[in-house]
Amino acid sequence: MAKTLFDKIWDAHVVREVAGGLTVFYIDRHLIHEVTSPQAFDELTARGLTLRRPGQIVATADHNVPTRHQDQPIQDPLSRSQVDKLTENCARFGVELYGLGHQYQGIVHVIGPELGITQPGLTMVCGDSHTSTHGAFGTIAFGIGTSQVTQVMASQCLLLDKPKRMRITLDGALRPGVTAKDLILYMISQLGTGGATGYFVEYAGSAIRGLSMEGRMTVCNMSIEMGARGGLIAPDATTFDYLAGRRFAPQGENWDRAVAYWQTLYSDEDAVFDAELQFDASAIQPMITYGTNPGMGIPLAANIPVLNGGSEATSFDKSLRYMGFQPGESLLGKEINYVFIGSCTNSRIEDLRTVAAYVRGKQKAAHVEAIIVPGSKQVEQQAIAEGLDKVLAEAGFELREPGCSACLAMNDDKIPAGAYCVSTSNRNFEGRQGPGARTLLASPLVAAITAVEGRLVDITQYLN
């Protein structure tokens, strides 16, 4: 029987079916961080339970760590308490921790792939919704709640409903200035924030196959923003080349056996999906959001839509009031106060290279505060080794230390109320980057050009 890629991985991890149509599902890798793990460790302790397989868990500190002076004690009491608790719990339960100061510390969805922890055919979970990032490797990866974190810790399994399968195919060559971030913002704008609810999405087509692994991670990262349980992409030579030689990737004969298995991970030609969508990638333009959810996206050079009544009119109007925009308005020329380049969506070395390549020899606008936060210590060190830190500094950008930073403002990195921020992160909810902050989601290239110009422009006019 023909199977989808998702079905092949799912079926290989079913422990047993139980009454009510639920499945006891095995989890290969469990990533944890300082925000959603303390309660789980506390419950284990209260119930006298131990970790089922501590060697399958990797921890890091990322969500609310400071991005300056990480060699000094954390000043914020809550952040300090959570990071200290993570350190204490990992030592007590025997979990590998890449904490502040460790050469592998960073955003949990950046370090997993770059260390080779993320591999095709695995199942991975984390108490964070953007765990879908790891699906770029042909992995079933999804975010879980704190009670489920406890379940996985104690049993290495979850009790799940099997999601439906959706395939989104993007064919065609990308226009100049169009990146993976534009592809996923476009898809979300077409489906809406609930368009893939109940589905696990496989991304396919020539435009997807032409992306780097960093680009594929950006696409899968934001699957959750259109309601999907997760997203995944069939592994190929690009995947194998990325993983070869990484710290925890298979080596020697094990590598050869692994690749032989990974090459079987694709959707069979006659596989049936519950839903299929196709888009012409060559028609997609550089994108930006104008509202307060990631589905409110438009081509950068287009006007904000006008809604004439309908069930969404009230929330649409509320969103525009928050953002200070008008229906039908063009965003071109809008002055921007902040540019944030970072988050698990766009903080990898490819993103930093894109920004540095554009700003080399230029200066950011005087009124713009531009910060760039690498996704990990390894990204930071690679940027320094390539001299990107100097390029960015000469252009007026501040290169910070790794962490989630202004993506969710759980640390000191906040955008002031009323200020506009072009951000490479994944969510533009009210207050996401700080109370009253106004977030416009875009690609690193759009962010870099905006920082230099100090306003939103049609970036296609600024490309060589």
Q: Residue 57: in which H helix or E strand, if any?
A: strand 57-60
Rounded to whole angstroms, the Cα distance separating 102 from 254 reads 28
Q: Determine the number of helices (DSSP H) and then strands (DSSP E) in the chain.
A: 15, 19
Q: Is 404 annotated as a binding residue?
A: yes
Sign, CA dihedral 347-349-353-359, equals positive
Q: φ and ψ at 30, to 5 degrees? A: -130, 120
The residue written with tokens 């533009």 in the block is 428
Say how many C-beta atoms besides its own lie within 10 A of residue 293's C-beta.
19
Q: Residue 181: in which H helix or E strand, if any?
A: helix 180-191
Nearest to 170 by CA among 186, 157, 154: 186
User: 282 with 268: CB under 8 angstroms?
Assistant: no
Rounded to whole angstroms, the Cα distance separating 365 from 451 reads 6
Residue 257, helix vs strand vs coil: helix
Nearest to 234 by CA among 195, 206, 254: 206
How is residue 335 annotated by DSSP?
A: B
Rounded to whole angstroms, the Cα distance separating 15 from 24 reads 5
Q: Is 407 annotated as a binding residue?
A: yes
The strand pair at 123-126 and 140-143 is best described as parallel
**320 CB contacts (<8 Å, ≥6 apart)?**
290, 291, 304, 326, 327
Tell me how long the chain is: 464
Rounded to whole angstroms, the Cα distance separating 287 from 300 reads 5
Rounded to whole angstroms, the Cα distance separating 330 from 288 reads 12
Quote the strand ranges of 281-337, DSSP E.
Answer: 287-289, 297-299
Q: Is 344 annotated as a binding residue?
A: yes
Binding-site positions read 344, 404, 407
Binding-site positions for [4Fe-4S] cluster read 344, 404, 407
